[in-house]
Amino acid sequence: MAIRYTRPYDEILDELSGALATIPDCYETFEMSAQEWDELKPAERDVCIRTLADDLFYVLGSSSAAEAGSGKVEYDKAHHVIKVISTPQLVHLVGLREQA
């Protein structure tokens, strides 16, 4: 199974990165403590989250779901979106298709 998309990959990664950044403890995916994460400069955090977004995109190509910290990321093939469940009350939808 591969993820099908028609939007530019960089746009998808930008949106996915923004969604992942809302997971309160996304740094746990990198096996970092809250203190280690807080010591990173914002640009360094951005690089980590962008790398995570890229990695998760490819993981979702072979598995329909993955965890990121306390959050969850799911590929909804039927609706052509990636769902980022940051908290039970906050779910981001990242569209994979170009809007007409």
* Predicted local confidence at residue 25, as pLDDT: 94
- Measured distance CA(61)–CA(34) in Å, rounded: 29
* Predicted local confidence at residue 94, as pLDDT: 97
Q: What is the pLDDT of residues 28-47, one digit of tens each?
A: 998 999 999 999 999 999 99
What pTM was estimated for this model as a whole?
A: 0.93
Tokens of 17: 């990165």
Stretch 11-25: mean pLDDT: 96
- Measured distance CA(55)–CA(50) in Å, rounded: 9
User: What percentage of the chain has pLDDT greater than the value 90?
Assistant: 91
Q: Could you give the dihedral angle defined by the CA atoms of residues 28, 34, 35 and 38, in that order, rounded to the nearest 10 degrees?
A: 100
* Predicted local confidence at residue 46, as pLDDT: 96
Candidates 49, 62, 38, 63; CA nearest to 15 is: 49
HSE-CB for 74 with a 13 A CA cutoff: 12
Tokens of 13: 């990664």
Give the type of residue at 83: K
Q: What is the pLDDT of residues 33-84, one digit of tens each?
A: 999 999 999 999 999 999 999 999 999 999 999 999 999 999 999 999 999 9
